[in-house]
Amino acid sequence: MQPFPFAFPAAMMSNAASGSPFPGVPNFPMPGGGMPSFPGMPALPPMPPELTELFARWMQRPEKWREWGNRWLSAQSQLWDRFIHHRTEPVVPEVERDRRFSAPAWKANPIADYWRQSYLVFSQLVMELVEASDFPDGKTKCRVKFVVRQWLDALAPSNYPATNPEFIETAMATQGESIRRGIENLLADLRKGRISMTDETAFEVGKNLAVTPGAVVYENPLMQLIQYAPLTETVGERPLLFVPPCINKFYIMDLAPESSLVRFAVEQGHTVFLISWKNPGVSEAHFGWDDYLALGPLTALEVVREITGCPDPNVLGFCVGGTILASALAVAVARGDPPVHSLTLMTTLLDFAESGELGCLVDEASVAAREATIGQGGLMLGSELAQVFSMLRANDLIWNYVVGNYLKGEKPKPFDLLYWNSDSTNLPGPFVTYYLRHMYLENELRLPNKLKMLGYPVNLGAITAPAYVMAAREDHIVPWRGAYHSMQLLGGEKRFVLGASGHIAGAINPAKKNRRSYWVNPELPQEPDEWFAAARECPGSWWNDWADWLKEHKGKTVPARESLGNDTYPPIEPAPGRYVKEPALPLVRGSREAAAV
């Protein structure tokens, strides 16, 4: 696990540095080589080995290396000429759209303006060099791009006091008060072990988040099952079971009432049940993939059928919850269980051939190391998971708050999505290692009968329930083209819908706000780009399209139930239940919990 994020840039801070930090590569940010020499100016962060090797290979191709160097020098010459003659037009057009450098202070200060544009020139050239390089395979290239981007993001002049004019401007305007507040914020976050992204005092699960009325009607060591109270006088006879991801808390699907997918479904006249996964501790550190299937969707379906009397509920899975759900349904088919009536998958991978940067970071060595340490029992801490996901969008989820919280002394504003994002969960080691090896590394779930789960060979093609598959166009966790491959795996009628935005904002796009857009195309060619080329863009939230589709599968209309649960499964406690409120706090070194990690 990486150290606390702010320790990384802090370790890079030093006094004046001159000369090239690595041979053959132009210096940032001064033209013609040489770092500026004044106290507090940070030196370049250490170059990652992947980029060092890349430069070494390129230097064996002198004509390409000269071309790259000449482009760098030409850009530096333009920047220097612009600086000397006080011109204001940008040399790098992208600088006006980069949120890191959008404050007026960057443009008003000629030196800072030079720094930001010089940095962007260097970043563009380095990434072009990576793109143009030969790699053994696409996964290696993706991994190198990820590492190099992390380095370039850390290098941005906005991240350091001496090269950020906003820091200087704010410190002068507040007579140093912003510096004091920034140090306080940093110390507070060091105590928490993570960067604050929102005002966490503004939210409480069960008070202003996850407030859709309902009750826990069943629980086992791995999950609680919530049944939500009806909000309509009549409902469809078929209930709807939600299976959220276990890598974070379920209330991403039940935020404030106007943003709650759960409440939206209840308002559409569905009897909604939802799995709330337990935040694993030492007692749950031995659970594996089969345990999540057996104690999760398969048990939940049994309880839902017994409470409602409906043999074929509708089901929905989100992210890895969708992968768990589809696996469980394949087991159910193999052992002859009653089928479900329809399946909805939100931003879910079943075929992991196109798994994005997360897939690039999974290799044999890393998986084997996990198997050796936590594969037989142990925990992957929520703090580690959260940091991995933050690194996928480092500028938005790390450096943005380093600058705001620590350099400018600001308090982050209340934002429910970021509160949820910071409310991390642990994962049992056996579950993690099975998932990484058989899904991300070996991609075996897509192969009929290749994997056995709970003793049964699984075949996704045997799932013949009608399926609604939703992906998000800018999703960096579940790339939409990867999600589209589910069309070739599932056995029933299918509808694929592509929402705008990313993994969370694309999926949680409230119908009441009706923002963004989505794409539809009833034809399902094998290639995703061919599907998109003929797709029609529709304004608004994809939730409305899904509601219309699901209406066809809710069954006949019946009076809404007056009570939750039944005699066998009476209410245990009000929703959202206690499992979702368990925090994944950093474990104290030397404790019994730490020994299991």
What is the model's pLDDT at position 495? 98
459 and 490 Cβ atoms separated by less than 8 Å: no
Taking alpha carbons only, the member of 339, 570, 322 closest to residue 463 is 339
What is the model's pLDDT at position 47? 65
Residues 6+ apart with CB under 8 A from 524: 487, 494, 496, 531
Which of 310, 319, 360, 538 is an active site residue?
319
What is the model's pLDDT at position 23? 29
What is the model's pLDDT at position 19? 33
Q: d(Cα 253, Cα 275) in Å, to the nearest integer?
A: 11
What is the model's pLDDT at position 462? 97
Sign of CA dihedral 370, 372, 376, 378: negative
What is the model's pLDDT at position 585? 54
25 and 55 Cβ atoms separated by less than 8 Å: yes
Looking at this protein, which amino acid is placed at residue 163? Answer: T
What is the model's pLDDT at position 389? 85
The strand pair at 557-559 and 234-236 is best described as antiparallel
What is the residue whose two structure tokens read 């890191």?
100
231 and 268 Cβ atoms separated by less than 8 Å: no
The partner residues of 498 in beta bridges, in order of sequence, read 471, 519
Cα 159 from chain centroid (whole Å): 23
Residues 6+ apart with CB under 8 A from 138: none
- DSSP structure class, residue 596: T
Taking alpha carbons only, the member of 92, 62, 87, 77 closest to residue 32 is 77
Tell me how far CA of residue 233 lies from CA of 314, 335, 458, 557, in angstroms.
Answer: 20, 37, 40, 10
- Give CA angle at 119 (113, 125), nearest 5°: 135
Q: d(Cα 569, Cα 566) in Å, to the nearest integer?
A: 5
Alpha helices in 212-355 (DSSP H): 261-267, 289-293, 299-308, 320-334
The full DSSP string for 520-565 is E-S---SSHHHHHHT-EEEES-HHHHHHHHHHTTS-SEEEPPSSSS
129 three-class SS: helix
What is the residue whose two structure tokens read 């850390």?
154
Q: Residue 460: how many CA atoms within 13 Å on its side-chain side?
A: 23
Tell me how far CA of residue 450 lies from CA of 105, 157, 236, 458, 490, in angstroms.
Answer: 59, 50, 37, 7, 15
What is the model's pLDDT at position 589? 36
Tell me how far CA of residue 38 lies from CA of 108, 117, 260, in angstroms.
Answer: 21, 20, 52
Q: d(Cα 275, Cα 226) in Å, to the nearest integer?
A: 6
- Whether omega before 525 lies within 30 degrees of 0, making that bond cis, reads no
The partner residues of 236 in beta bridges, in order of sequence, read 557
- Give CA angle at 197 (588, 249), nearest 5°: 65
Q: d(Cα 102, Cα 95) in Å, to the nearest integer?
A: 8
User: Domains of the chain by range and CATH?
Assistant: 22-161 (no CATH), 214-381+426-581 (3.40.50.1820)
The partner residues of 316 in beta bridges, in order of sequence, read 242, 344
420 and 248 Cβ atoms separated by less than 8 Å: yes
Q: d(Cα 583, Cα 586) in Å, to the nearest integer?
A: 9
**Catalytic annotation on 310?**
no
Taking alpha carbons only, the member of 200, 118, 236, 139 closest to residue 550 is 236
Q: d(Cα 78, Cα 67) in Å, to the nearest integer?
A: 17
- Give CA angle at 418 (295, 259), nearest 5°: 75
Residues 6+ apart with CB under 8 A from 566: 306, 307
- First and final C-alpha spacing in the chain: 12
Task: Count other Cβ atoms within 10 Å, centred on residue 524.
Answer: 16
Q: What is the pLDDT along the chain (597 residues), one digit of tens a residue?
A: 332 222 222 222 232 233 332 223 333 333 333 333 333 333 445 666 777 777 777 777 788 778 888 888 898 899 988 888 878 788 888 888 999 999 999 999 999 999 999 999 999 988 988 888 888 777 888 888 888 898 899 999 999 999 999 999 999 999 999 999 999 999 998 888 889 999 989 999 999 999 999 999 999 999 999 999 999 999 999 999 999 999 999 999 999 999 999 999 999 999 999 999 999 999 999 999 999 999 999 999 999 999 999 999 999 999 999 999 999 999 999 999 999 999 999 999 999 999 988 888 888 988 999 999 999 999 999 888 888 888 888 898 889 999 999 999 999 999 999 999 889 899 999 999 999 999 999 999 999 999 999 999 999 999 999 999 999 999 999 999 999 999 999 999 999 999 999 999 999 999 989 889 999 999 999 999 999 999 999 999 999 999 999 999 999 999 999 899 999 999 999 999 999 999 875 543 333 343 344
Residues 6+ apart with CB under 8 A from 277: 222, 223, 244, 246, 250, 296, 425, 579
